[in-house]
A and B are shown apart, each in its own frame.
Chain A
Amino acid sequence: MNWLAISPLEAALIWSALAAAAVWLYLRHPRPRPKRVSTLRFWRSIEGSSRPRRKRRIGEPWALLAQVLFLLLIVLALADLRPAGQDFEGRYVALLLDSSAWSQSRPAGQAPWIERIRGEADDFVDRLAFGDHVLIVSADADASPLVSFTADRAAMHKAIAAFRASDTAADLPRALELARAAVAGKRRAAIVYIGPGLLDEPQARRIEQFRRDLQQAPPAFRPQLLVRRVGDWPVENRGITRLALRRDTARPDRWRLLAQVHNYGRRAADTTLTISIDGRVLERQTLRLAAGQGQPAHSEFTWADGGLLEAEISPPDALAADNRALAHLPVFRPVHAAVFTRDPKILKPVFATNPYVVTEFLPPGGRPAAVPQVAIYDAVPPPPDPDTDSIVFLPAGAVADKRRGAAGAAKRAGRGQPAAEMRLTAWNPRHPVTRWLRTRDVSVTAAAPLAIGARDVVLAWSDSVPLLVARQQNGHKQVLAAFDLRQSNLPFQPAFPLLMAAAIEWMTGAVEEMADAGTTGEVRVAGPASRVFAPSGAEISFARAGDQLQLLAFQAGLYRIAGPEGEFKLAVNLPPLPAQRWLATSDESSELQAAPPISPARRLWPLFVLLALVPLWAEWHFAEKLRVKSYELATPPSSPPTHNS
């Protein structure tokens, strides 16, 4: 059964209330009526018959039952039941409400677009025929249903009232496809879009394709597409469409900033761009923006500490959401390296050109001023248990000892003496230290054989002889070279500074060269994560794709990503917003097709009304019987003749 007018629960409640009222009326003792009489003596004489009733009772239960049955049938008629299984004649309407960033627009002197969208949606719902089913979808970067197909007007209005705008750009073709899939196979369906109707060029082409696809459907199953545009276009809005920062490679504490500002309005405008970090204003620039054009703004500043960089444009305009962009600046701290060497001539030039490392050259056994992050042993025996990360170039004596030992072992094994000069033939391309090294010009006069542990990684070979090994020992990383730098031409190779820089980076972590911000919508971020928090503080879901994670960012702001190695921040800003108006055809601007007539034969309320007449008559019959019986009881069988006849 379809309960069209009221739900089964409502019908049950109404009937229960009416039945309770009927029983109460039957049992009701009306307040005694006052009456002045001259015959009180006769009432006294019949005291037993006229004693006031104390016990409530129903005089005619059958009449009461008949009345309750009558009320039930009337309530069922009001519920407008229809037999299940019949084709429901109402329409299926997918209502797409634009919840993109443009919906937040508040042009001067006009109502906010989001309120106009809600108003338009409420009016549309109210004009629908009774029994039409509506699916309401929030259309932004994603297309998510707010309420699934329902004929409950209250639920529709509630969903419309709860609908909110996001900070994303709308993907209207995606929302249209979702709506088409939802109404597929339904007769007399409609897809209705309500919003500003702003697209970019690719979306416009996809909508054209969508229209063509709609025409392919059979006429009986072809949904009507309606477009209800809200708001005048263009609006006077300027927005930051891009914010990017790069470190200066020569000076890691210096940043180069690029901001792109776009004028969506039809008038040229002057805009002030303010750059600040953690609330401290660094710079202000005035930009002259032509109508419909964008303009880049550059800036440079020195900032070694991390922080939140904010770019903001003023004065305020129709859309405030894109007047602000964020970027998270990572902290820069140079690596402190202690070089233990008898002859700093070889390594000094290498580190002199590396602004990321601050080196302290010490003689063997020397004590650095502070505990270094990396210790480099140039032909100096390292301590047996190093307490820092280290790079070790074995001293020549160790190499000779090892050679003698290796030669003896080789002799005993029947192998030949180690070669005097070895050419490095291969680098390990998978390890971070050597992945960018390709040179084959490195030769080594003498190299000691290295014992390779189970967890050691060979970084470079000469044929099958390991020359460079990476190991981890007691929680510290070590790069071990099997040769003395003086017995090799490696220091003279361009690869040597790269090798040193890569080794230090592998040990201390890479310095972030960029401080780009993501844009709302689908975001991909490198790195493992266990939890992601939106700018509002709410935890949001995400998906893993390899070593990246994917999430849908509906809000602009700073996201926190918590992983096994700590937490890092991700700034997300509004993307460049589409600025091309959806040109609706005359059909799309027309009204919803009229609701089909409901076949009267399928409605059951006339039957219920007719059936209700039976208990109505029965109630009168039982009540009349009671009245006649009472009268017969009341009339004495033989009354004394009156003198007036």
Chain B
Amino acid sequence: MASPLLLDRDFLRTLEEVTLLCRKDLSGTIGSDHRSRNHGPGLEFADYRRYSFGDDPRFLDWSAYLRLGKLFLKIYQTEEHIPVRVLIDTSRSMDCEPESGEPESGEPAGEPKFRYAQRLAATFAYLALLRLDTAVVIPFAESIRKPLVAAGGRERFWPVMEFLNGLGCGGRTDLLASVKQFLRQFTGKGVAVILSDFFDEEGARRAVEMLRFAGHDFVLLHVHTPDEQRPASYGELILEDVETGERRRVHSSPEAAAAYERAFLEYCGRLERLAARNGGRYGRALTSVPYQDFVLRGLRGDRVVE
């Protein structure tokens, strides 16, 4: 039985040193801990600039005038509120247990895919709340379901945990319809983190384009189990798609598994290129890797967090 704590306390303490990176110029509400590239009213000194007629004289640095005989203005960094919206895939395809026993690669089987996605969703929500940003958790399958909006700091994280724990899997994946609905409901730009297995390639492509057009800074986190990357079972199998119910009889052998893995990795590559072309970021979350390592190292490597 899964622990109700999606994130342990040590990891939460560690997350306080981590910051969610934004790659785009997102106009947010001022007052967050989230640093923006914009300069403006703020508390942190950023730079000097020569005084021009019309500038606010309150920001003149009189010490510099006494020394240099010229007028300089102090510029401060603007700290803006950036909503972080986590779209978590709750379709049936996310409810796959990893293959029991060790596959040929010797890697451990890992934890269930949806559980892993829940942890990542909780992580991003916590990161947002830490910086006094708004965290929105939006479950989706064929369409988006009732979201949870949290704001006001880390004290608001526990309802997020409870909400995530209460989610279940069901329905088919329709990423495009879900993103369309998301964009209609959430019009402000922000960071959109999509946690899914992205087995709807055409839908993912169009959804990503829509996110780009909407100006969101999106992150695609591809969650999958080790046996989804490379099958661990050999022999005669009758495979049934968990969403469509389609059945197929296959013979799984080491050769077939190798071909499968090649196809899978090619697909991952296409997703990554898709994200990059559209200004987003892509991360592949293998459930056999502890989520802490993935967040602290993997996402850092992908420049999602720092």
Residues of A within 8 A of B (CB): 29-46, 49-53, 630-631, 633-636, 639-640, 642-644
Contact of B253 with A by CB under 8 A: yes
For B258, list chain A residues within 8 Å (CB). 633-636
Which of A31, A37, A636, A642 counts the most chain B CB atoms within 10 A? A37
Q: A38-B199, A46-B260, A634-B253 are in contact. List 17 more A-B contacts (CB 8 A).
A: A33-B236, A35-B233, A35-B237, A37-B240, A38-B96, A38-B242, A41-B199, A43-B250, A43-B260, A50-B252, A52-B251, A53-B251, A639-B265, A640-B265, A643-B283, A643-B298, A644-B294
Contact of B64 with A by CB under 8 A: no
Cβ B237 vs Cβ A32 within 8 A: yes
What residue in chain A is nearest B257 (Cβ atoms)? A634
For A52, list chain B residues within 8 Å (CB). 236, 249-251
Cβ B255 vs Cβ A633 within 8 A: yes
Cβ A46 vs Cβ B259 within 8 A: yes
For A639, list chain B residues within 8 Å (CB). 261, 265
A46 and B263 in contact (CB under 8 A), knowing A40-B241, A631-B104, A633-B254?
Answer: yes
What residue in chain B is nearest A47 (Cβ atoms)? B250
For A42, list chain B residues within 8 Å (CB). 260, 263-264, 267
**CA A611 – CA B240 in complex, angstroms?**
48
Shortest beta-carbon distance from A50 to chain B in Å: 4
Cβ B240 vs Cβ A642 within 8 A: no
Shortest beta-carbon distance from B38 to chain A in Å: 31
For A643, list chain B residues within 8 Å (CB). 283-286, 298, 301-302
Contact sample, A vs B, 30 pairs, CB 8 Å cutoff? A30-B235, A33-B235, A33-B238, A34-B240, A36-B96, A36-B242, A38-B199, A38-B242, A39-B260, A39-B264, A40-B248, A41-B199, A42-B263, A43-B248, A46-B260, A49-B255, A51-B251, A53-B236, A53-B251, A631-B104, A634-B255, A634-B257, A635-B104, A636-B258, A640-B265, A640-B268, A643-B301, A643-B302, A644-B284, A644-B289
**CA A43 – CA B227 in complex, angstroms?**
13
Cβ A644 vs Cβ B293 within 8 A: yes
For A38, list chain B residues within 8 Å (CB). 92-94, 96, 197, 199, 228, 241-243
Shortest beta-carbon distance from B173 to chain A in Å: 9
**CA A44 – CA B260 in complex, angstroms?**
9
Shortest beta-carbon distance from A588 to chain B in Å: 70
Cβ B240 vs Cβ A36 within 8 A: yes
What residue in chain A is nearest B95 (Cβ atoms)? A38
What residue in chain B is nearest A41 (Cβ atoms)? B199
Which of B241, B250, B298 counts the most chain A CB atoms within 10 A? B250
**CA A49 – CA B283 in complex, angstroms?**
29
Contact of B246 with A by CB under 8 A: yes
Shortest beta-carbon distance from A448 to chain B in Å: 122
For A34, list chain B residues within 8 Å (CB). 237-238, 240
Neighbour of A634 across the interface among B241, B254, B294, CB < 8 A: B254
Residues of chain B in range 263-302 having any CB-CB distance to chain A below 8 Å:
263-265, 267-269, 283-286, 289, 293-294, 298, 301-302
For A29, list chain B residues within 8 Å (CB). 236
Contact of B167 with A by CB under 8 A: no
For B268, list chain A residues within 8 Å (CB). 640
**CA A44 – CA B247 in complex, angstroms?**
11
Neighbour of A35 across the interface among B240, B259, B283, CB < 8 A: B240
For B240, list chain A residues within 8 Å (CB). 34-37, 40
Cβ B256 vs Cβ A46 within 8 A: yes
Shortest beta-carbon distance from B105 to chain A in Å: 8
Which secondary structure characterizes the binding site on chain B?
A: mixed
What residue in chain A is nearest B99 (Cβ atoms)? A35
Residues of chain B in range 147-194 having any CB-CB distance to chain A below 8 Å:
none
**CA A262 – CA B141 in complex, angstroms?**
110
**CA A138 – CA B298 in complex, angstroms?**
94
**CA A493 – CA B304 in complex, angstroms?**
160
**CA A40 – CA B284 in complex, angstroms?**
19
For A642, list chain B residues within 8 Å (CB). 284, 286
Shortest beta-carbon distance from B236 to chain A in Å: 4
Cβ A630 vs Cβ B253 within 8 A: yes
Contact of B239 with A by CB under 8 A: yes
Contact of B262 with A by CB under 8 A: yes
For A33, list chain B residues within 8 Å (CB). 233, 235-238
For A633, list chain B residues within 8 Å (CB). 254-255, 258
Cβ B251 vs Cβ A35 within 8 A: no
Shortest beta-carbon distance from A183 to chain B in Å: 63
Cβ B269 vs Cβ A640 within 8 A: yes
What residue in chain B is nearest A53 (Cβ atoms)? B251
Shortest beta-carbon distance from A28 to chain B in Å: 11
A644 and B263 in contact (CB under 8 A), knowing A35-B237, A38-B199, A635-B258?
Answer: no
**CA A34 – CA B265 in complex, angstroms?**
25
Cβ B197 vs Cβ A43 within 8 A: no
**CA A639 – CA B256 in complex, angstroms?**
15
What residue in chain A is nearest B286 (Cβ atoms)? A644
For B255, list chain A residues within 8 Å (CB). 49, 630, 633-634
**CA A296 – CA B300 in complex, angstroms?**
128
A37 and B239 in contact (CB under 8 A), knowing A46-B260, A49-B256, A639-B261?
Answer: yes
Residues of chain B in range 12-38 having any CB-CB distance to chain A below 8 Å:
none
Neighbour of A44 across the interface among B248, B253, B301, CB < 8 A: B248
Cβ A630 vs Cβ B254 within 8 A: yes
What residue in chain A is nearest B284 (Cβ atoms)? A643
For B286, list chain A residues within 8 Å (CB). 642-644
**CA A45 – CA B270 in complex, angstroms?**
15
A40 and B253 in contact (CB under 8 A), knowing A633-B258, A644-B284?
Answer: no
For A44, list chain B residues within 8 Å (CB). 248
A32 and B249 in contact (CB under 8 A), knowing A642-B284, A643-B298?
Answer: yes
Shortest beta-carbon distance from B51 to chain A in Å: 48
**CA A623 – CA B255 in complex, angstroms?**
17
For B262, list chain A residues within 8 Å (CB). 636
Shortest beta-carbon distance from B246 to chain A in Å: 6
Cβ A32 vs Cβ B256 within 8 A: no
For B260, list chain A residues within 8 Å (CB). 39, 42-43, 46, 49-50
Closest 3 CB pairs of A and B: A634-B254, A38-B93, A32-B236
**CA A31 – CA B242 in complex, angstroms?**
21
For A37, list chain B residues within 8 Å (CB). 96, 228, 239-242
**CA A470 – CA B162 in complex, angstroms?**
143
Cβ B256 vs Cβ A50 within 8 A: yes
**CA A45 – CA B301 in complex, angstroms?**
31
For A631, list chain B residues within 8 Å (CB). 104, 254
For B294, list chain A residues within 8 Å (CB). 644
**CA A477 – CA B298 in complex, angstroms?**
138
**CA A140 – CA B242 in complex, angstroms?**
85
For B94, list chain A residues within 8 Å (CB). 38
For B265, list chain A residues within 8 Å (CB). 639-640
**CA A45 – CA B94 in complex, angstroms?**
21
Cβ B298 vs Cβ A644 within 8 A: yes
Shortest beta-carbon distance from B225 to chain A in Å: 9
Cβ A40 vs Cβ B236 within 8 A: no
What residue in chain A is nearest B104 (Cβ atoms)? A631
**CA A324 – CA B249 in complex, angstroms?**
85
What residue in chain B is nearest A40 (Cβ atoms)? B241
**CA A365 – CA B212 in complex, angstroms?**
161
Shortest beta-carbon distance from B81 to chain A in Å: 29
What residue in chain A is nearest B228 (Cβ atoms)? A39
For A31, list chain B residues within 8 Å (CB). 236
What residue in chain B is nearest A644 (Cβ atoms)? B289
What residue in chain A is nearest B266 (Cβ atoms)? A640
**CA A38 – CA B262 in complex, angstroms?**
17
Shortest beta-carbon distance from B285 to chain A in Å: 7
**CA A178 – CA B124 in complex, angstroms?**
104
Shortest beta-carbon distance from A413 to chain B in Å: 127
